[in-house]
Amino acid sequence: MNEILQSFIGQVSNPWLKLGIDIVIILIKIAIVIAIALLHVAYATYWERKVIGHMQVRLGPIEVGPHGLLQPIADGVKLFFKEDIIPADADKPLFYIAPVIFFISTLTSLSVIPFFNHFVIADINIGLLFLFAMSSLGAYGIVISGWSSNSKYAFLGGLRSASQVISYEIAMGLSLVGVMIMSGSLNLVDIVKAQQQYPTGMYFIPQILGFFVFVVAAFAETNRLPFDLPEAESELVAGYFTEYSGFRFALFFLGEYTGMLIMSSICAVCFLGGWTVPQFIMNALPFLSKLPNIVWVLVFLVKVYAFMFFYYWVRATLPRYRYDQLMAIGWKLLIPLALLNIVITGLAKILIKG
C-alpha cells in the first residue's frame, strides 16, 4: 500500500501537487487515528467500568444496549448536551482554553505512536522526546484550569498536579533512557524493530528496573490511583476540574483516558515489543510471518489493553497515597532507581560491545 502510494507520488512532477498529496495523506491518517483512538477511549471507559464492576461484585453498565455496550455513547451525548456552567469569578479566557490545551496535548502525542510498521502519522526521529514534551504540556492545561476556576479546591488540585507531573516526568524520562541506550534510537519504530532483534524480544526483561519505574511513573503521570491526588475526590471534591461541566469536563475526561491509552502505548512500544512478537517465537512458528498485517495491529492492541487492565486492577485494589508520600516515592525511590538502571545498562552495553 505504502509502496504503491510512494511510486504514485514519485510520478508526480509538480512540487506543489506533491506537497498537496502529502498533506492529504497525512490528514487522512490523522482522521483515522483520531477516530479510532477516540472510539478506543470511549470503550476504555466502558471496559474500565466492566472490569472494576466485576471486581467489586457488581455488573457495571448493563442497561444501555446489549450488556451496556452503548453506554459510552450515551455518556458522550449526555455530556455534550449538558449546560456549560462557567463560574462568575472565573478567569474566562483561561477557563475556556485550559481543557483545550490538556486535550490537544494528549491527542497530539498520538501522532508519534506507531500502531504498525508504517502506520504512524509522524515518523520523526525524536518520537520519545516529543512524547515527553507533550505530556509535560498537558500539565499546563491542568494548572491553568486550577488557577482560572477561582476555586480553592481546584487551585489546590492544580498545584498538586503541577508538582506531581514535574516530579514524575523526571523519573519517567530517566526510566526510558535505558531503552534508548539499548536500542540506540529515539524513534519509536526503530525501538520496536531493535527489540525484535533482541534475544528476549521484549525490553522489559533486561530493563526490569526501568520497567518498574516507568509503570509507577505512568500511574502518577495520568493521575490514576494510587496517585490520583490532583483529583482526590474525598479531599478536593474533584480537584482541578471541580468547576467544569458539560463538554469542557468531557474534554478533561477524554484527555485523561487518552493519556492512559498513550502511556499504555508507550509501555507496549518501549518495553513489550510493540506490534511484534519475539523472534524466537517467530522462528518456532514460521506460519506467523504469513499472517496479514491486521493481526499485528491486534497484537499491539492486546498489549495496550493488558496494560490498561493493570491500571484498572490497581485502581480496584489500592488506597491513595498522601501528598508528601507521593513526593518521597518520586524523588527518593524512583529517580535513584532510574539512575541506577541507566548506569547498569550503560556498563552492560560497553562490556558486551567491548
Partner 1 sequence: MEHIEKTFETRELTISMGPQHPATHGVLRLVLNLDGETVVRCTPYVGYLHRGVEKLGENRTYFAALPLSDRLDYISSMNNNVGYVNAVEKLFGIEAPERAKFIRTMVAEMGRISSHIIWLGTHVLDIGATTPFLYAFREREVIMDLFEMLCGARLTVSYPRVGGVRNDISQEFLDELYDFVLDFPSKMDDYETLVTENRVWKNRTVGIGVISAEEAINWGLTGGTLRGSGVNYDVRKHAPYDVYDRVEFDVPLGKNGDCYDRYLVRIGEMRQANRIIKQCIEKLPAGPVMADAPKFTLPPKDMVLKDMEHLIHQFILITKGPTVPEGEVYMGTEVPKGELGFYFVSDGTGKPYRMRVRAPSFVHASVLPRLCEGGLIADVIANIGTIDIVLGECDR
Cis upstream peptide for 87 (omega within 30°): no
Which DSSP symbol is given to 289?
Answer: G
Q: Confirm or reject binding of residue 228 to partner 1 (CB under 8 A).
A: yes
Size, binding site for partner 1 by CB under 8 A: 29
Q: Confirm or reject binding of residue 166 to partner 1 (CB under 8 A).
A: no
Minimum Å distance from CB 196 to partner 1? 37
Choose one: 28-36, 132-140, 249-257, 320-328; the region binding partner 1 (CB under 8 A).
320-328
Binding partner 1 (rule: CB under 8 A), the pick from 242, 321, 330, 345 is 321
Choose one: 82-90, 105-113, 235-243, 254-262; the region binding partner 1 (CB under 8 A).
235-243
What's the CA gap between 306 and 325, in Å, rounded?
28
Binding partner 1 (rule: CB under 8 A), the pick from 116, 153, 198, 309 is 153
Q: Confirm or reject binding of residue 255 to partner 1 (CB under 8 A).
A: no
Q: Confirm or reject binding of residue 156 to partner 1 (CB under 8 A).
A: yes
Minimum Å distance from CB 232 to partner 1? 7
Choose one: 37-45, 174-182, 224-232, 334-342; the region binding partner 1 (CB under 8 A).
224-232
Looking at the Cβ atoms of 78 and 152, the one nearer to partner 1 is 152
In the block, residue with C-alpha cell 512532477:
13
In 3-state terms, what secondary structure has residue 198?
A: coil
Please enumerate in sequence order all residues whose Cβ is within 8 A of that of 132, keeping only pairs 6 or more positions apart, or say none: 169, 172, 173
- Other C-beta atoms closer than 10 Å to the C-beta of 287 total 7
Q: Confirm or reject binding of residue 182 to partner 1 (CB under 8 A).
A: no
Please enumerate in sequence order all residues whose Cβ is within 8 A of that of 262, keeping only pairs 6 or more positions apart, or say none: 106, 109, 110, 113, 131, 135
C-alpha cell at 63: 442497561
Q: Confirm or reject binding of residue 235 to partner 1 (CB under 8 A).
A: yes
Binding partner 1 (rule: CB under 8 A), the pick from 320, 344, 348, 349 is 320
Backbone dihedral angles phi then psi of residue 227, each to the nearest 5 degrees = -115, 35
What value, to the nearest 5°, has the Cα angle with vertex 206 and ends 316 and 203?
Answer: 70
What's the CA gap between 138 and 198, in Å, rounded?
34
What's the CA gap between 285 and 157, in Å, rounded?
51
Choose one: 81-89, 149-157, 250-258, 339-347; the region binding partner 1 (CB under 8 A).
149-157
Q: Confirm or reject binding of residue 233 to partner 1 (CB under 8 A).
A: yes
Q: Confirm or reject binding of residue 354 to partner 1 (CB under 8 A).
A: no
Near partner 1 in 60-119, by CB under 8 A: none
Minimum Å distance from CB 161 to partner 1? 13
Binding partner 1 (rule: CB under 8 A), the pick from 73, 323, 331, 346 is 323
Binding partner 1 (rule: CB under 8 A), the pick from 18, 82, 315, 349 is 315
Choose one: 181-189, 214-222, 229-237, 275-283; the region binding partner 1 (CB under 8 A).
229-237
C-alpha cell at 260: 492512559
Q: Confirm or reject binding of residue 332 to partner 1 (CB under 8 A).
A: no
Binding partner 1 (rule: CB under 8 A), the pick from 39, 318, 333, 350 is 318
Which DSSP symbol is given to 202?
Answer: S
Contact by Cβ (8 Å): 38, 254 = yes
What's the CA gap between 202 and 197, in Å, rounded?
9
| Burial (CB count within 10 angstroms: exposed 0-12, middle 13-18, buried 19+), residue 352 | exposed
Interface contacts to partner 1, rule CB under 8 A: 52, 55-58, 152-153, 156, 225-226, 228-229, 232-237, 315-325
